[in-house]
Structure 1
Amino acid sequence: MPTYLRLVRELKRNYVLGSIIIVLGIGFLLMFFTLSMTAREVWTVAVILVFSLGVMLGTETIVLRSHLAPIRRLFAAPPAEPAPWRAAYVRTHQLPKKAVGRVLGPHYFGLAIPAAGLSALAIRLDYLNIPYYLLLVASVAAFLLAALHAMAEFFLTSQAIRPLLLHLRGEALARFGEDLSLGGRVLVSIRGKFRWSAFLIGAFPLLVFTFAGQIRFSDVYRNNSEYWQWQVLLLAIGIGAAAVGAWLLSRDVEQPIRELQDKMAKVRDGSFDGYANDLYADEFSRLVGGFNHMLDGLKARERMNSQLIQSYITTLAATLDARDPYTAGHSVRVAAYSVEIGWLAGLTLQELEVVKKSALLHDIGKIGVRDSVLLKEGRLTDEEFDMIKQHPATGEKILKQIEPADAMAELLPGVRSHHERYDGKGYPDGLAGQDIPLLGRIIAIADAFDAMTSDRPYRRGMSVEQALGILKDGCGTQWDPALALPFIEQTTEREQEKSAPAQAAASAE
């Protein structure tokens, strides 16, 4: 509550000081030094302004209370769920923009409408001796003052809300373990802030001078059309220059910010190759340099993490293969065949890396199978085969225990489904056709090919030609033909190239 009360005090102080400096200070100075008024007229104007200021402050107080209501309720009775804290956090971020609305709304109309109405009545009752059209000029000038006040309130409120934002984040983190954030949501654009601020700074003095000059010299130049033409031309040129300057300034600031946002979006998606272009000679050069330096650090860390994971996976596969000297190297060979099949299927390098890792770990679940079954040289009993059939699900369960939870998520489909059959007669889930994950269909072919061509204690490995024939016969029943046939064709061509020199030598003899 003290943080909230401090914010309210600061908002009220900023508003009152802004009103005194801009409305009473600049406004009164322009009015009393521009108009020639009698003492009676000065008192009349003073009474009108004091009454109008009272109306303005009253409407401003009501609107400010409505803007602060969600935050005030939060601190009056802190809720036990995070949603109101999120809403209060967003509302606090909205206060600078709402301050602009308060000043241009209740502030301006709360002052201008009563002041213009009472001034018109005073003119009618001869308490003021000024033309009615000057009330319109004064209303436009008052709007310019309100715009200047709104700009000041925006930037002052932006600074005032920071302690409350930190307090809300700390409370939400302590109560719910949630770090409040806008998550990239833009409530007020840099372009809007810079364009309107720069335009107002450039145009305000020119407009105020024009209106003050109009009032001051209206009697002298009232019927001089050349003066009016010159004044309108000068005003148009000045406003145009302010608008162009504001646009150039906002574009110069917005461009590097947009580029950095685009690069950060790529980093968020996992790409660390997009350096920001260092095309700036101002402070943005430091920002770009810092971003690129951070990117180098992220790339080095990602490279190290990738190496650690690859080493970890290779070690797991080697540990499994070491249990049986007859299957040594099986996981590595299956990984190589799987990558080849994936490459023939048109997978990307990133997808092939997932294929390789999943294939290296495809039999990790056999760690849970006892040696008497796993290393048995003879035919397995039905009970023993059922134990073997559990290793895909066991492997998935083992990998799911690795932290963080999503570290092995991409590899799980291949580990679980590499013994599924294309006709739906495989295990552990009995999936068929395209319902089998792509990783499972790829590894199933590679696993079967290596098993057929490798020696076992109870048999010698068959020739590559025989294994390829079995693969071909099983296309559409045991294996996915779209994946198996290109592998068969490629391997056949490779074997023919190997045998060509021997055949040529035999023919020469």
Structure 2
Amino acid sequence: MKSYRTFLKQILFNYIIGSLIAVAVVGGLFVLTTIDAPLLQNIRMIGIMMFSFMVMLGLEGIVFRRHIRIIREACVIDFPTEEMIKSAYIQLHKFPKLSVYRIMLPHFLGLTVPALILMIVCMGKGWITLPTYYLWIGGAGALMVASMHAFIEFFLTASAIRPMLILMKERLHRLYGKDILELGQVHVSVRRKFQWSIFLIGVFPLVLFSLAAQIRLQEMTGVQSGEYWSWAGSVILVSIAFSIVGAQLLARDVEHPIRNLYSEMEHVKNGDFSGEAEDYYSDDFSLLISGFNHMIKGLQLRDRRSAQLQDSYFATLAAALDARDPYTAGHSLRVAEYAVIIGENAGLSTYELDRLRKTALLHDIGKIGITDSVLLKDGKLTDEEFDQIKKHPALGESILKQVEPKDAMQPYLPGVRSHHERYDGKGYPDGLQGEEIPLFGRIIAVADAYDAMTSNRPYRKGMPAEKAIMILEEGRGTQWDPQFASIFIDSYRKKKELIS
């Protein structure tokens, strides 16, 4: 695939350039220009470095092929599996960190270990005449250069993977109609980036200069390494401390707005659009916060309109049902009102109360499926006709299951199906008992029974409210949930006392 080849060329180009620079710095600027050695020794040292460079390439090549394998398979195979594409997507995110791993282990060790071994052998045979401590200085210099190479490679790789991440998303969607759902995965924290970046930028040039200067000064002036490093070490320690403090301060300054946004995004993710991110920044983050808050205001407007449309939808369904029978007009609205009273006194949250009210509005929606001859009959129902009426909770659930999207109606289904269950298990359609009955079903059962008893019917007049309350008292723990029946009874009596 062309995109994969382009990506591979970019990664290899970045690596080769970084490797050549590292070797040139260590070999050219650090060794050859610092150490005053005969030409033959310089040639031998260059030969050692080139051999070590080949060993390094071999070791790192093995590791690189293992790291790139998942990505390559997802790109070159015509129909990779869904799991292969997702694994490649995750591997791409890890690739900048893996590039650091490759440079600090197979790259650094593959170059340094063979070089040190060959230098020791050549110095033992007298082919190269250098002080032994030069080897330790060379190793320390190589470590610093490898660290800077890893630092540069990390950011170059982070840039190179972006087109491939987009490609993997598009391929998964095209082949399987799915989207990558890896949200909020932190593979390398901002704090860690700043800490290592500022540390390397602040300390690397100073340490590299100190190592080269120590060799050069000793050759030119005879200053002993102990005297030199007592001074240079203090300077380096101060630089390290300054770099660490600077990295902490900068990381904290950048993390604060990110955490601010993340905190508000958690609310948005949970469907709460009421808040806004605080904007007390004077840099580019102020623009980001402002844009986020502008988005929140748009979501608030859309959410209000959506809620209005949904409320209108539920009320219209309830009104359509009530319109079938003039004697039950307003029944669903009243049951919803009574249910909310119970829910409020039971301590339900605003979110739960909204769901309860909508469930109550739809609790009898299944009666749409009952024939007029049964639903609108003036006299007493026969057993067969009553059996048809008893089907309406299950019919209501079935009707709501047809509404798209299916998850939108899911919260209302249990209450619609179970509002005619009895606390003693003698209700319908499932014969549930006690707290087996869903919460909304137990609440609506009380509200529904009270309105049914106090409403007029063609074959009877509605009973007085006080008598209905007495029946609810007698049926606590048998027909109705004792807690919710008591709450409704207490609420009724408190309201009556206030009126009187």
Query: If the TM-score is normalised by the length of the shorter chain, which range does it land in?
Result: over 0.9
Give, in angstroms, the shift of residue 23 of structure 1: 2.1
Q: Aligned to 1:337, what secondary structure does the other structure show?
A: helix
The 2-side partners of 1:317 and 1:107 are apart by 72
Aligned to 1:115: 115
Aligned to 1:315: 316
Q: Aligned to 2:274, what secondary structure does the other structure show?
A: coil
Q: Answer whether contact 1:122 1:128 (CA < 8 A) is retained.
A: yes
Cα 1:388–1:469 change in 2 (3 A) is same
Q: Which segment is superposed worse, 383-392 or 125-134?
A: 125-134
Give, in angstroms, the shift of residue 317 of structure 1: 0.6
The 1-side partners of 2:20 and 2:214 are apart by 25
Aligned to 2:160: 160
Letter in 1 for 2:314: I
Give, in angstroms, the shift of residue 416 of structure 1: 0.8
Give, in angstroms, the shift of residue 5 of structure 1: 2.0
Q: Which segment is superposed worse, 68-77 or 275-284?
A: 68-77
Give the alignment of 1:18-417 within 5 angstroms: 18-25=18-25, 27-79=27-79, 81-219=81-219, 220=221, 222-223=223-224, 227-417=228-418
Give, in angstroms, the shift of residue 227 of structure 1: 4.0
Aligned to 1:505: none
Residue-pair matches, total? 499
Aligned to 1:16: 16
Q: Answer whether contact 1:465 1:492 (CA < 8 A) is retained.
A: no
The 1-side partners of 2:9 and 2:181 are apart by 25
Q: Answer whether contact 2:26 2:141 (CA < 8 A) is retained.
A: no
Post-superposition Cα deviations, 1:63-116, rounded to whole Å, max 9, x if no partner, equal 111111222333444455311211111112211111101111111111111211
Post-superposition Cα deviations, 1:206-246, rounded to whole Å, max 9, x if no partner, equal 11111111111124354486543222211111111111112
The 1-side partners of 2:498 and 2:158 are apart by 74
Cα 1:245–1:27 change in 2 (3 A) is farther
The 1-side partners of 2:175 and 2:488 are apart by 57
The 1-side partners of 2:241 and 2:444 are apart by 69
Q: Answer whether contact 1:27 1:145 (CA < 8 A) is retained.
A: no
Q: Answer whether contact 2:27 2:46 (CA < 8 A) is retained.
A: no
Aligned to 1:471: 472
The 2-side partners of 1:371 and 1:173 are apart by 49
Cα 1:124–1:2 change in 2 (3 A) is same
Q: Which segment is superposed worse, 395-404 or 265-274?
A: 265-274
Cα 1:81–1:43 change in 2 (3 A) is closer
Aligned to 1:486: 487
The 2-side partners of 1:47 and 1:26 are apart by 14
Structure 1 unpaired stretches of 5+: 501-509
The alignment yields a C-alpha RMSD, in angstroms, of: 1.6
Q: Answer whether contact 2:26 2:142 (CA < 8 A) is retained.
A: no
Paired-residue identity, % = 50
The 1-side partners of 2:166 and 2:487 are apart by 60
Q: Which segment is superposed worse, 191-200 or 180-189?
A: 180-189
Cα 1:458–1:180 change in 2 (3 A) is same
The 1-side partners of 2:56 and 2:138 are apart by 17
Letter in 1 for 2:139: S
Post-superposition Cα deviations, 1:143-199, rounded to whole Å, max 9, x if no partner, equal 000001011111111111222222221111111112124322211111111210111
Q: Answer whether contact 1:221 1:227 (CA < 8 A) is retained.
A: no
State the TM-score, normalized to the length of structure 2: 0.96
Letter in 1 for 2:42: V
Letter in 1 for 2:192: G
Give, in angstroms, the shift of residue 338 of structure 1: 0.7
The 2-side partners of 1:281 and 1:39 are apart by 58
Q: Answer whether contact 1:415 1:440 (CA < 8 A) is retained.
A: yes
The 1-side partners of 2:188 and 2:74 are apart by 24
Give, in angstroms, the shift of residue 364 of structure 1: 0.8
Cα 1:493–1:108 change in 2 (3 A) is closer
Give, in angstroms, the shift of residue 126 of structure 1: 2.8
Q: Aligned to 2:406, what secondary structure does the other structure show?
A: coil
Aligned to 1:507: none
Aligned to 1:504: none
Q: Which segment is superposed worse, 487-496 or 74-83?
A: 74-83
The 2-side partners of 1:212 and 1:328 are apart by 94
The 1-side partners of 2:491 and 2:89 are apart by 61
Letter in 2 for 1:428: P
Letter in 2 for 1:101: Y
The 1-side partners of 2:298 and 2:198 are apart by 38
The 2-side partners of 1:334 and 1:116 are apart by 87
Give, in angstroms, the shift of residue 334 of structure 1: 0.8
The 2-side partners of 1:415 and 1:28 are apart by 81
The 2-side partners of 1:36 and 1:80 are apart by 58
Letter in 2 for 1:22: A
Q: Aligned to 1:13, what secondary structure does the other structure show?
A: helix
The 1-side partners of 2:189 and 2:241 are apart by 22
The 1-side partners of 2:484 and 2:182 are apart by 46
Letter in 2 for 1:190: V
Q: Answer whether contact 2:214 2:225 (CA < 8 A) is retained.
A: no
Q: Which segment is superposed worse, 421-430 or 247-256?
A: 247-256
The 2-side partners of 1:15 and 1:422 are apart by 73
